[in-house]
Amino acid sequence: DEAGGAEGADAAGKGGEEGEQGDVEMKEAEKGGEEAEKGDAEMKAAEDSGEQAGKGSEEAEKGGQASEAKKGDDAEEAGVDNWWSEEGKDSKWGGNDEETKEEKNDEEGKGEAKKEEKNDDEKNEGEGGEEKKEGGEDKAEEAAAPEEPSDDQGLPDAKRIDVGWEDAAFLLAEDGKHLKTLERLLAADIRAKDSGIVRLKMKEGAPEGRLARAEQCVRAMGSLRAGTDIEVWPLPEAGPVDALLSVVDVPKESAKGYVRGKDGARLREDLFDIRGAICAFAVEGQRPEGVPEPAPKEEPPEVLEVGDTVTAKYGAEWHDATVVETGDVIVKVKWSFDEEQQEQVVRANVQKKVEPPEEMEKLLIFGSLRSRLEAEIRVLNFVEKKSAGYVAKLPPRAEEAAATEDCALGTAQLEEDKIAKLVGKGGSMRLKVVAIAGCSCEYISTYMYVVGSAKQRETAIALTQLLQRSDDSHQIRALPAELEPLAEQFAIHRDALTNVLGEKRDNMKRIEDETKTIVFLLSASSGATTAASKPTGADKEASGIKKDAKVEVKIKGQWQVATVLEVQDWGVDSDDDDDTDGRTVKLQWGGDEKKEATVPIANVREVLEGEAADKRREEDDAQAKLRELRTLVVVGSSAEARRAALLRIAAAVEAHRPGTH
């Protein structure tokens, strides 16, 4: 027992020493942890080693506490053993040798466990030291490593925009074509990285607030990749916003998907690739911190008129009704459930019945004025196809002014039954009008929307109106003055006309489509005398057509000799549309038959003799040949286009009448 007590005391002492050693190791580990914390994220391994060392010291501390407790227990056991020895070793208590051996074995086992704990602590301390060493080496490597290059992409103080790596790849595609487009449009320097970071810096002289708008434009360009929405706060109202942005309201349910196309195909291929407009649908983003919330809009007071459909309160319920009489306080209504019953209702209990409007989405259109206007009328055409009547309900579109562009939006009324003709098969006629006028136009509902310069809009509208007035053969009475600089005439024999035109103008349509021209046919009566060519009073006196004068008169297409009986003058201003120039002639002709007739002055001419008569006969023959000809008018944007059409027509004539040309 004494030996066992001594061994227990020794074990307790050793445990205390190990505990103290563990405290020292813990302090060292804490110092290692503090050093590791001074490093950056790459020193995390050293922090882990400090934590492991701390765990080792805690285990050692527990071992020390266990040793102190055991020391007290051993002392008590030693006192009991001494009492047993003083009373006598041979007493009945002396038979506990087996228990003493078991306790001794327990003490030895605990001692072994403590040794293992000490070995674990030493091991942890060694690992912690190694990790500290590695941490020190990392610090040395960091000190020796060169600094990372700056992320400003050569644009210090530039706006940093994260568009995502996929949109950034779209911006960088085709040798940065889209980035260059943005730089020209925004007057800015722009850089993009594969990681998705875009740097934007406005050039000197940029208007105030342009940076925020330019950021929206950059995000819109990136969104063209897949037609995704972008976040904007606050959402702008529909119409022209500034020199860079216009907004169009698009019905969400009926038209948004069609306007966008699959994965943004229409926004990308139709509006951007063809018209140069950068378009994206916008959703309201988060209000920036420090920016006050805008005040709510004041709704105009509701005005009731006789005949309006309303809902009015009848007892405790609301019912449909029709307004019979209006007033500021009392409104007289006729109930829909009993039309014979009319009742006066307090104005506050009457509400105008209005169908809830369809939810709208904002389509942002960035670009030059012309690009935005062309994209806008194209989008309105898309919307009208999916929501008929929508465009007609829009308020009148105000023209935009631009200091750098001679461009505006014009409109013209169309005849509903002529719209199919104006559009043409597959839009062919509309495209020819666009090519000739050099403008952009869309036929929406019963209106023509045209974008271009003042001259381009004037040409397009004049050409469209001429098409509406022409018949199925494109026959016209005269060519408008606005189109004369773009037209050339071509004489064609009557016999060949039908073959050149073809059935339903099929042959001529092919020529027009290939040469981007439009061909009209002047009517046979288009050469009639006009008021401007009518003779004056002096001309009439000198004409020689007087009473008893010998003249020639045109009867049934033949010139006959006649005698003037009377000249009647109604006055040159009496009727501007009258081919008589204000005069008619009563005369006698037919030789012995003595026939009389009254004819317009245009059918009477003086009798000539000698060379003058011979010259007149030659002119008559030439006129007779001309009467066998018709005149085609070719309208085209350039002399080359018109010449190409004329040559095709001449070849068609030659095929029918060889030797004509």
Q: Is the pLDDT of residue 115 over 70?
A: no
pLDDT, tens digit (0-9, with 9 covering 90-100), for 535-550: 444 444 446 688 888 8
Q: How many angstroms separate the Cα of 610 from the Cα of each of 227, 554, 614, 648?
A: 85, 21, 7, 44
Give the whole-angstrom CA distance, residue 318 versus residue 304.
17
For residues 118 and 60, is the Cβ–Cβ distance under 8 A? yes
Query: Within 13 Å and on the Cβ side, how many CA atoms surround 36?
Result: 26
Element (DSSP H or E) covering residue 98: helix 97-144
Predicted confidence band of residue 465 (pLDDT cuts 50, 70, 90): very high
For residues 568 and 545, is the Cβ–Cβ distance under 8 A? no
pLDDT of residue 356: 83
Structure tokens at 5: 């007590």
pLDDT of residue 616: 84
Average pLDDT over every residue of 547-563: 85
Average pLDDT over every residue of 22-34: 56
Sheet order of strands, 159-162 included:
159-162, 197-202, 188-192
> Using CA atoms in the order 266, 272, 277, 280, what is the torsion angle rounded to 10 degrees?
50
Asked which of 21-25, 254-258, 437-441 is least confident by mean pLDDT, the reply is 21-25
pLDDT of residue 96: 45
Query: What amino acid is encoded at 224 in this protein?
Result: L
Predicted confidence band of residue 407 (pLDDT cuts 50, 70, 90): very high
Q: Is the pLDDT of residue 73 over 90?
A: no
Give the whole-angstrom CA distance, residue 186 versus residue 387.
34
471 or 403, higher pLDDT: 471
Q: Where are the alpha helices (DSSP H) in 145-236?
A: 165-186, 210-223
Contacts with 606 (C-beta within 8 Å, 6 or more apart), sequence order: 543, 544, 545, 549, 551, 552
The mean pLDDT of the chain is 79
Q: Is the pLDDT of residue 147 over 80?
A: no
pLDDT, tens digit (0-9, with 9 covering 90-100), for 452-462: 999 999 999 99
- Counted residue by residue, the chain has a size of 661
At CB < 8 A and 24+ separation, what contacts does 435-439 make? 435/516, 435/637, 436/460, 436/463, 436/486, 436/516, 436/517, 436/518, 436/635, 436/636, 436/637, 437/463, 437/637, 438/637
Q: Is the pLDDT of residue 526 over 80?
A: no
pLDDT of residue 652: 93
3-state helix, strand, coil in the chain (%, to 5): 50, 20, 30
625 or 427, higher pLDDT: 427
Predicted confidence band of residue 16 (pLDDT cuts 50, 70, 90): low
How would you write 508-529 as a 3-class SS string?
Answer: HHHHHHHHCCEEEEECCCCCCC
Q: How many angstroms separate the Cα of 477 from the Cα of each of 15, 469, 504, 522?
A: 124, 9, 20, 6
pLDDT of residue 583: 82
202 or 627, higher pLDDT: 202
- Most confident segment among 81-85, 100-104, 237-241: 237-241
CB count, 10 Å around CB of 439?
23
- The 8-class DSSP code of residue 543 comes to T
User: In the chain, pLDDT over 70 holds for what percent of residues?
Assistant: 70
Which of these, 486, 462, 479, lies nearest to 523 by C-alpha position?
A: 479
Q: Is the pLDDT of residue 446 over 60?
A: yes
CATH number of 159-284: 3.30.1370.10
Q: Is the pLDDT of residue 257 over 70?
A: yes
298 or 415, higher pLDDT: 415
Q: Is the pLDDT of residue 20 over 80?
A: no
For residues 36 and 46, is the Cβ–Cβ distance under 8 A? yes
For residues 154 and 191, is the Cβ–Cβ distance under 8 A? yes
**Domain residue spans in the chain?**
2-86+98-143, 159-284, 312-352, 406-469, 476-661
pLDDT of residue 37: 53
Give the whole-angstrom CA distance, residue 388 versus residue 332.
36
The alpha-carbon radius of gyration of the chain (Å, integer) is 51
Q: Is the pLDDT of residue 82 over 60?
A: no
pLDDT of residue 595: 85
Place of tokens 């941490």: 135
Average pLDDT over every residue of 94-99: 45
Give the whole-angstrom CA distance, residue 467 versus residue 75.
124
Predicted confidence band of residue 597 (pLDDT cuts 50, 70, 90): confident
pTM above 0.85, yes or no: no
CATH, domain 406-469, list 3.20.20.140, 3.30.70.100, 3.30.1370.10, 3.40.430.10: 3.30.1370.10
Asked which of 18-27, 146-155, 342-351 is least confident by mean pLDDT, the reply is 18-27
70 or 288, higher pLDDT: 288
Phi, psi of 556 (to 5 degrees): 50, 40
State the angle between helix axes of 639-656 and 506-515 in degrees (0 to 180), rounded to the nearest 10.
150
Q: Is the pLDDT of residue 314 over 50?
A: yes
